[in-house]
Amino acid sequence: MEGLRLKMTIHPFCDKFGLSTVALRVQDLLNYTMIDPMVQRKLSNMQRRKISTYLQERELDHVFFGPVTLSLREVNQLSKGEKEFLLKHGSKLSILDGQHRILALGYVNDQMQKEVRRYEKKLVVLKIKQRKFPEDAEIRQEVEETEGTINQLEGRRLDLMETQLAVQIYIGLTEEEEQQLFGDINSKVQLVSKELGHSFDSIDPLNLVIQQVVDHNVYLKAAGVERRNNLTSFNRNFTCFSWLYATATMLFSGRMQPSYELQRKIRHDPSTYVEILHQFFNTILPMMPEQPGLAQYTSANRVIQESIALYANRFLFPNGEYNEEWTNSLQLLEGFDWSHDNEELIYVFGALDNGKINLIHEKSLKKHMKLVQFFLEGTDSGSADEDDVASSAS
């Protein structure tokens, strides 16, 4: 094993370092890179998961990422040939920028390999059956379909591994200089507002559903959707894109975060989910105050909005089948007391020093579950205990 061949030109950098830009295959990136915790921030599993989901959902055969920045400390690991450089086998390039992208690529590769192996095991069982029943057309068809699935998955995985990414390589930096460069790279990053992210992100199919409903739902447009960073106590808008994202996720899946399976279903049939979200707001908004986004009403509260969606989810897909009458479950909101003087809600959540009900949003679903249980007590499903509600939201 001779190593990695690099067709590149090394340019002088700050008189004593080298700098080069080259295209590398994903497979080579996985084999020849490492993460040094001394020059990298702590890994964010959520960030890696988001990139992994994008990679699994992408419709293109190749990946288009921004340049990855690497560093080669040991210059003697690189030798020069007539037309190219050779990086010795076993050498490692330190990742300065792009660790989540590279880790996500490796994770997706592993997941696809596991999926292929799972189908290969299934194929072995099917071929044993086929030998026992060679005339069975159904088994023969299943064997062909499974072989086709294996070929498709493995082909997609190999396409991903053969994809080339732009790589910037610094040569001869010390660990301290790598730390400084990492800081310089990341200190110039300008964060994008979460609302703009949801508003313009067309990769996530759930965002496309939300955008359709925001643009065309008469009740929601009248209630107001904030497009800036966040809602404040002085804002009169009913919701914002990040709240809508969480609300729609809970309505469609009963969970805090959208799963890969949910995104796949939405991508397969987006019009159904657009219609469901329209029905949700067409049902609940007429039963809320005329200006539901005013802070004096609990309808303006994120916990309330998400909890109503979480409650409705129990009736939307009972036993995995779509229930056409699911909006009937929301009729319990008819005549609901949306003020902060609602004694039943005060009993459940308590009151703050300012006199308002304690509906402060938290990262857990504890308050949501209490409210769902409160709603269920007014329906035929009122016998469900809090553990049942918790299990459906976990």
Supply the pTM of this predicted model.
Answer: 0.53
**3-class DSSP assignment, residue 41:** coil
Neighbours of 6 (CB within 10 A): 20
Cβ-contact 386, 373 below 8 angstroms: yes
Structure tokens at 218: 């008469």
pLDDT per residue of the chain (394 residues) written in tens, 0 to 9: 578 888 888 888 887 888 888 889 999 999 999 988 777 777 788 888 888 887 776 655 556 677 888 999 888 888 888 788 989 988 999 888 888 889 999 998 999 899 999 999 999 999 999 999 999 999 999 999 999 999 988 988 888 888 888 899 999 888 888 877 777 666 655 545 555 555 555 567 898 899 899 999 999 999 999 876 555 555 689 998 889 999 999 999 999 888 878 888 998 899 999 999 999 999 999 999 999 999 899 999 999 999 999 999 999 998 888 999 999 999 999 999 999 999 999 999 999 888 899 999 887 889 999 999 999 986 554 444 444 444 445 4
The whole-angstrom separation of Cα 152 and Cα 119 is 11
Chain-centroid distance, C-alpha 118: 24
pLDDT of residue 231: 57
Return the closest-CA partner of residue 246 out of 172, 298, 319, 301: 301
Strand order in the sheet with 164-171: 11-13, 17-25, 164-171, 68-72, 93-97, 33-34
**3-class DSSP assignment, residue 301:** coil
What type of residue is 317?
F
Return the closest-CA partner of residue 149 out of 125, 118, 127: 118
The whole-angstrom separation of Cα 103 and Cα 101 is 6
pLDDT of residue 391: 47
Cβ-contact 235, 242 below 8 angstroms: no
DSSP per-residue letters across 164-232 = EEEEEEEES--HHHHHHHHHHHHHT--PPPHHHHHHH--SSHHHHHHHHHHHH-HHHHHH-EE-SS---
Q: Which helix (H) or strand (E) holds 124?
A: helix 99-132
CB-based contacts of 123, cutoff 8 Å, min separation 6: 143, 146, 147, 150
pLDDT of residue 57: 66
What type of residue is 192?
V
pLDDT of residue 314: 93
Angle at the Cα of 363 (from 361 to 364), degrees rounded to 5?
100
pLDDT of residue 389: 47
pLDDT of residue 382: 45
Instruction: Kindly calculate the radius of gyration of the chain based on its CA atoms and give it in whole angstroms.
Output: 27
